[in-house]
């Protein structure tokens, strides 16, 4: 007696194979490109931070900034105190 995969198992394996193939294609496409509304297309890095309160400053400070990795300049920054 031999084991034969049923239809559901075949469909599941086909779906997993398709997703793995799409993931491979997407990961080899290169770095993600972003375009500013008024600027050129480039590569950007988003970083966030949180600064805890101290004895002289009772509030948290959190924020994020976007760096253009081609020029190294900060493109946008936002800070919130709470």
List, for residues 26-47, the tens digit of each pLDDT value.
766 666 555 556 666 667 788 8
What's CA 73's distance to the chain center, in Å? 20
Residues written for the chain: 82
What is residue 63's predicted lDDT score, i.e. its pLDDT?
Answer: 87
Say if pTM beats, i.e. exceeds, 0.75.
no
d(CA 52, CA 82): 10
- Whether 70 contacts 42, CB under 8 Å: yes
Task: Tell me if 34 sits within 8 A of 44, measured CB to CB.
Answer: yes
How many CA within 13 A on the CB side of residue 56? 0
Q: Are 49 and 63 in contact (CB under 8 A)?
A: yes
């Amino acid at each position: 007696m031999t084991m034969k995969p049923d239809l559901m198992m075949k469909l599941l394996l086909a779906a997993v194979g398709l997703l793995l193939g799409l993931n491979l294609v997407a990961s080899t496409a290169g770095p993600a490109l972003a375009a500013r509304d008024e600027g050129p297309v480039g590569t950007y890095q988003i970083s966030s931070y949180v600064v805890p309160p101290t004895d002289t400053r009772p509030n948290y400070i959190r924020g994020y900034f976007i760096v253009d990795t081609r020029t190294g300049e900060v493109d946008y920054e936002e800070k919130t105190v709470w």
